[in-house]
Amino acid sequence: MSVAEKSLWHKLLDGKVSRRMVIQSAIAAGVAGSLKVAEAQGAAQSGDVNANNGAPAASVGNRAQLRPPFSTVETNFNDDLTLPVGYDYQVLAPWGELINERGDTVGYNHDFVGYFPIDLLEGGSSSADALLTINQEYPNALFVGGNVDNATDPKQVEAEMKAVGVSVVRVRRGGNAWEVVMDPRNRRIDATTECELTGPVRGKEVVGGATVVKGSVGNCSGGQTPWGTLLTCEENVDGYTETWGEASDYDATHQGWITEIDPFDASARPKKRTAMGRFRHENAAVTLAADGRVVVYMGDDMRDACVYKFVSKGSYNPDDRAANMDLLVEGDLYVADFSSGAWLLLDYDRNQDLKDAVDEETGASVVRSQAQVLADARTAALAIGGTPVDRPEDIEIHPRTGEVYVALTNNSDHGNYYGQIVKLRESADDWAAASFHWEIFAVGGPQSGFSSPDNLVFDPHGNLWMVTDSGTGEDSIYEFLGNNSMFFFPTEGPDVGKAFRFAVGPNEAEMTGPVWTPDGKTLFLSIQHPGEDSESLDALTSNFAAKEGTNVPRPTLVAISGFPGWGADV
């Protein structure tokens, strides 16, 4: 497609950009009109605000804090994590670290991090002791297995299958330092772990009749539920058919779902939630509607793919964790139509448009059952008018206004190299609503200083923090960005939508999975794929987080200190 040929999405964006000043005043006005959503959220979550990708956050009242609590850092191409003066980082749970007495080790390429206070199930919110869940998105043949010449070598495949999935790791703060604690709940879910398919697609032909499947892969971003489970999102799952197919019984139809994992029970089998559809799941932004139904916003990270919303059939019961464990088995899946601001129902029996949808060339039905709709949600969604947008990556919900922020990374097919962040607001401030309106929040590019927005996280004051996933390097169109960076954006006040640089990552790395302790004093952040373009162990492009005595870069968490905490005035 030529750049001149504008997609529907770009025509819609054009209509919004010209109204930029109007948008800014609408944002300011929106805060005042937000109480209904904020109150609903407060009621559902016992007064705590919902920040940190669903992780608990200590309450800060209804106070905005409009300035960043740091002095911005300059862009650079250094092979280090650059932080503002007064901030420091500690390498924690790097790839390969031992996590339990069975000999399990932390996987490769850290992404989403879930923070589960160790006392969460007793109503606590410890900021010094927690189970972390770390998504391990994908392997790197050079660093994992070492065989770069034969991707299908069984030993190579085995090493890669063990390096992906999710790591559950207990960590504790002693003094100023965090450490991994050997805990019986520490475990690895990898590409060989038995997982159960639940919901409408379980046992159906579209998954080869399977009810139990092997592994969880492509674990990108995710979310946390109010009942203390992880939702891990299976994003890029197709490529393994070729590389792992012969050496394993890898089946891509068993991947590409949202999988729910209980970090508090090492014997609990991960559950794939087929009612939430199968696509390139990037993220899961979880909240509760006023009536207690669970609402999850999700993006399909692909050029010209859609934004989705799932609404559970049942309602959350704060006193019945066992019942909550089945809430995501059944519910309604919707796709966003940004041209009309409507959520379109992806239910074969209740939406005639799905029955009427035919392939333009062949005249054949696009889908013939609800199992087909869910197993290839993208095809069904596009067939009924879901709006193809520019790679929806993370989605997060503003803790004070209830607005839903969507990071659209970029889409070179339509000349959008830098991406943008848009925000939508549900009708009547009801997350279960059938319609919404939306605006642009920030636009990437040399003038705004950021590019390719990926993971988002709000602090409880309502400020947005964002990490980039950009091509990097000197002499590229992304040179202005430097290495991938982390930014802070006020969402109200005079600097609304303005990007303040908080951190710059090491060479070729992407920072992912930001999450704070509930007191706001430690930020955990993943450093993913440092040195990923290294051609051999003799030509490494990064040495970030190398083990003592070696120079091989390691994906890792870092624990960043220096934050004043949510209660502090800055």
Report, in Å, the least distance between residue 476 CB and ligand FEO: 20
Buried b (16+ CB within 10 A) or exposed e, 89-121: bebbbbbbbebbeeebbbbbbbbbbbbbbbebe
- Phi, psi for residue 242 in degrees, rounded to 5: -75, -45
Report, in Å, the least distance between residue 263 CB and ligand FEO: 21
Secondary structure element (H or E) that encloses residue 393, with its range: strand 392-397
Give whichever of 111 and 183 is closer to ligand FEO, judged by the CB atom.
111
Q: Smallest Cα–Cα separation from 53: which of 115, 109, 110?
A: 115
Can you tell me which residue has the tokens 């909550």?
Answer: 324
Report, in Å, the least distance between residue 284 CB and Ca ion: 12
Task: Give which of Ca ion, ligand FEO, none residue 429 binds (C-beta under 5 to 8 Å, depending on kind).
Answer: none
Give whichever of 160 and 393 is closer to ligand FEO, judged by the CB atom.
393
According to CB under 5 A, which one of 429, 454, 459, 492 is a site residue for Ca ion? 454
Give whichever of 95 and 316 is closer to ligand FEO, judged by the CB atom.
95
Give whichever of 220 and 231 is closer to ligand FEO, judged by the CB atom.
220
User: How far is Cα 370 from Cα 375, in angstroms, rounded to an integer?
Assistant: 9
Residues that bind ligand FEO (CB under 6 A): 137, 220, 235, 282, 301, 393
Task: Give which of ligand FEO, Ca ion, none residue 403 binds (C-beta under 5 to 8 Å, depending on kind).
Answer: none
Task: Give which of ligand FEO, Ca ion, none residue 137 binds (C-beta under 5 to 8 Å, depending on kind).
Answer: ligand FEO
Task: Give which of ligand FEO, Ca ion, none residue 337 binds (C-beta under 5 to 8 Å, depending on kind).
Answer: none
- Residue, CB closest to ligand FEO: 220
Q: Are strands 194-198 and 271-273 parallel, antiparallel or unpaired?
A: parallel
Q: Would you count residue 300 as binding Ca ion (CB under 5 A)?
A: no
Neighbours of 361 (CB within 10 A): 6
Stretch that binds Ca ion, among 143-151, 320-328, 464-472, 538-546 (CB under 5 A): 464-472
Report, in Å, the least distance between residue 220 CB and ligand FEO: 3
Give whichever of 282 and 439 is closer to ligand FEO, judged by the CB atom.
282
Report, in Å, the least distance between residue 175 CB and ligand FEO: 34
Give whichever of 166 and 220 is closer to ligand FEO, judged by the CB atom.
220
Which SS3 state, helix, strand or coil, does residue 305 take? Answer: strand
Judged by phi (left if over 0) then psi (alpha if -120 to 50, else beta), residue 275 lies in alpha
Give whichever of 137 and 532 is closer to ligand FEO, judged by the CB atom.
137
Q: Would you count residue 469 as binding Ca ion (CB under 5 A)?
A: yes
Can you tell me which residue has the tokens 């499947």?
Answer: 213
Give whichever of 100 and 216 is closer to ligand FEO, judged by the CB atom.
216
Cross-strand partners of 232:
222, 259
Task: Give the angle subtended at the CA of 29 by the CAs of 445 and 26, to the nearest 5°.
Answer: 40
> What does the radius of gyration of the chain's CA atoms come to, in whole angstroms?
22
Does residue 557 contact residue 525 with C-beta atoms inside 8 Å? yes
Report, in Å, the least distance between residue 167 CB and Ca ion: 17
Stretch that binds Ca ion, among 165-173, 225-233, 356-364, 386-394 (CB under 5 A): 386-394
Report, in Å, the least distance between residue 455 CB and ligand FEO: 8
Which SS3 state, helix, strand or coil, does residue 323 take? Answer: helix
Q: Smallest Cα–Cα separation from 223: which of 297, 319, 169?
A: 297
Instruction: Tell me which amino acid residue 201 is.
Output: V
Report, in Å, the least distance between residue 52 CB and Ca ion: 17
Task: Give which of Ca ion, ligand FEO, none residue 97 binds (C-beta under 5 to 8 Å, depending on kind).
Answer: none
- Contacts with Ca ion: how many residues (CB under 5 A)? 3
Give whichever of 234 and 393 is closer to Ca ion, judged by the CB atom.
393
Does residue 224 contact residue 262 with C-beta atoms inside 8 Å? no
Judged by phi (left if over 0) then psi (alpha if -120 to 50, else beta), residue 487 lies in beta
Give Cα 414 distance to the centre of its chain. 24
Integer angstrom CA distances of residue 512 from 257, 282, 451, 521: 20, 12, 15, 18
Give the pair of three-digit tokens for residue 510.
């992407």
Could you tell me how many residues make up the chain? 570
Report, in Å, the least distance between residue 283 CB and Ca ion: 8
Task: Give which of ligand FEO, Ca ion, none residue 160 binds (C-beta under 5 to 8 Å, depending on kind).
Answer: none
Task: Give which of ligand FEO, Ca ion, none residue 79 binds (C-beta under 5 to 8 Å, depending on kind).
Answer: none
Give whichever of 262 and 393 is closer to Ca ion, judged by the CB atom.
393
- Residue, CB closest to Ca ion: 469
Report, in Å, the least distance between residue 135 CB and Ca ion: 10
Contact residues toward Ca ion (CB under 5 A) are: 393, 454, 469
